[in-house]
Every structure is written in structure tokens, then in C-alpha cells.
Amino acid sequence: MSLSIEMLLRQSAAQLADAGSESPQIDAAVLLCFVLDKPRSYLLTWPEKTLDTEQQAAFDVALQRRLVGEPVAYIVGEREFWSLPLKVAQHTLIPRPDTERLVELALEKIPAEPCSVLDLGTGTGAIALAIASERPDLQVSGIDLRPEAAQLARDNSENLQITNTRFLSGSWYSPLTVDERFAVIVSNPPYIDKTDPHLEQGDVRFEPKSALVADENGLADIRIISEQGRQFLQQGGWLLMEHGFEQGEVVRDILLELGYSQVSTAQDYAGLDRVTMGCWQG
């Protein structure tokens, strides 16, 4: 039996709420728009329209995936970041709104003149592409351990017609040549401890552990990035890293011990410590 858009939205939102979704109405609407390939306004304009058999079947599949907890962004294959629609895939972290704070802070630190910027652990390319879109005069490099992530970031760059980027694959700085220097290095690295119960809840269960979890209470990668960053920052260059809300002090200590100056922590939109930065005087 075919249901109207209005009925379908009501029914599926109720099922999603029962299944524990925190945003059942939005989830249902986003999945339906994806299946119909229409904007959200269509659902409000045509509430009495019914789905054809194929659309209904596609919606049922999408809804089932969400009912078992899979993130909406993986089901529809897309997430918006910094107003840029980005393709996402299971091997990348889903870009978070709070990471836009890292972009804002990086843009403040990037010199006014053309220079090079590096994004480590770029995933979908979200941070690199946001910066590159704001500053077409920059050369923005993104590196990800996984070749498929670097390729996804490249595809996103191409789809968005952003041309001042390059994406490489390898562990942290390893794909770079020794003489490369950057005015700003940014990263949203894995920083969650493997015993954190947060990993067993909600959308993160479906995201790659390699993008979330790090050794040494979540600090191992932050340490590597900070240590080796000294070699790749130009004099007076800045390193900015996202981290957990309880890691501000320890990340500041890491940067200070390594000889960075003007070390400080900034808060995310919820007022929690989220980004720590330091300047490398060489």
C-alpha cells in the first residue's frame, strides 16, 4: 500500500523515536528527501503525494538502516560542513559542527598573504576544503592515512570546484618532502581513549575507530603531530588541534614542553575546551 508523504513521515518518525533516535522527525525527512531526490520544501508542499513502489522500497531500506542506528550521513552519503555539501563514506569520520570552530580559528591565524596550509587526518577533506574555499589564494594540502579517504577528499574538492588543494595519503607527515614548510597546520586527529563509554553510543559506533581512538588516553597522535610539526612549520607558523573537552590542559603542556609559544585553548560552541594552538618560532 502506498502512503502519503505526510503519513510516511509521521509513521517513520514514530518508529525512529521508539528506536532511540534523538532527532526522529529530521531523520525521517532527510531520508525521504534522499529517496525522492527532492529538497525539504517538497515534503511540505506535497504532503498528500504518494510514493511509487520503487521509492517506497528504497525508503524502507533507508529507514531500516537508520532504525538499527546507522548514521543518517552514511545512509545518504552526504553531510554539510561550513555550508559545503561533502560526500562521506564509512571509512571517514562524519564532519561535526564543532569542528567549524577549528576552521574559524585557523582562518584567524593564517597570514593575509598567500601561503601553504596543511590539514592532517583530513578524512572527507572537510577542514581543508572549508579553508581552501575561504582563501582561494592559499595552497591547502590534506593528508589521510587511508588512500580511499584521500580520494574521497579529492572527489569532494572536484565536485565543489575548489582547485587550490592537493590530497595525499600516508601516516601524518610522511607523504611530505623534508623541505616543505607550512604557515598553519590544523588537525582533528583521533583523541578518544579506547575505554571511553561514548564509543558504544549512537552514531560513533558506526564510524572508523582509526579516526576516533588513540593510545595514551587519546593523546598519542596529538603528541606525534605536535612533535613532528616543528619540522614542517615555517618560523612563526601555527599548529591548531581539536581535542576532547577534558584535554585542554594536557595538550597545552605537550605544546609548551616541545617549545611552542603563545599556547592557548579555545572553546567550542557549547563553551567546552576544544581547540589548542601554539606558535613555532623556530
Distance of CA 160 to the CA centre of its chain: 16
With CB under 6 A as the contact rule, the residue among 190, 237, 248, 278 that binds ligand GLN is 190
The verdict on whether residue 244 carries a ligand-binding annotation is: no
Decide if residue 225 touches ligand GLN (CB under 6 A). no
Q: Which residue is nearest to ligand GLN (CB)?
A: 212
Report the nearest approach of ligand GLN to the CB of residue 163 (Å).
27
Q: How far is the CB of 257 from ligand GLN (least distance, A)?
A: 22
Closest by Cα among 4, 18, 1 to 63: 18
122 labeled binding residue: yes
Residue 125 marked ligand-binding: yes
* Torsion of Cα atoms, 69 then 75 then 81 then 84, to 10°: -170
Work out how close the CB of 162 gets to ligand GLN at its nearest, in angstroms, rounded to a whole number: 22
195 is in an annotated binding site: no
- Site for ligand GLN contains 124 (CB under 6 A): no
Q: Does 204 bind ligand GLN (CB under 6 A)?
A: yes
- Interaction of residue 254 with ligand GLN, rule CB under 6 A: no
Q: Taking CB under 6 A as the rule, does residue 241 contact ligand GLN?
A: no
Choose between 54 and 200: whose C-beta lies nearer to ligand GLN: 200
Distance between CA 103 and CA 111 in Å, rounded?
14
81-120 positions binding ligand GLN, by CB under 6 A: 96
190 among the known binding-site residues? Answer: yes
The response to whether 196 counts as a known ligand-binding position is no
The CA-CA-CA angle for residues 126, 132, 146, to 5°, reads 40
According to the annotation, is 123 in a ligand binding site? yes
156 annotated ligand-binding residue: no
Applying CB under 6 A, among 43, 183, 192, 240 the residue interacting with ligand GLN is 192
Min separation Cβ 243 and ligand GLN, Å? 8
Residue 132 or 204 having the CB closest to ligand GLN: 204
Span of 142-150, 156-164, 186-194, 223-231 interacting with ligand GLN by CB under 6 A: 186-194
189 is in an annotated binding site: yes
Among 81, 172, 182, 191, binds ligand GLN (CB under 6 A): 191
The verdict on 188 binding ligand GLN (CB under 6 A) reads yes
Are 171 and 143 a contacting pair, CB within 8 Å?
no
Measured from the Cβ of residue 140, the count of other Cβ atoms closer than 10 Å reads 30
Examine residue 145 and tell whether it contacts ligand GLN (CB under 6 A): no
Q: How far is the CB of 189 from ligand GLN (least distance, A)?
A: 6
Binding residues for substrate: 188-191
Residues in the site for ligand GLN, rule: CB under 6 A? 96, 188, 190-192, 204, 212
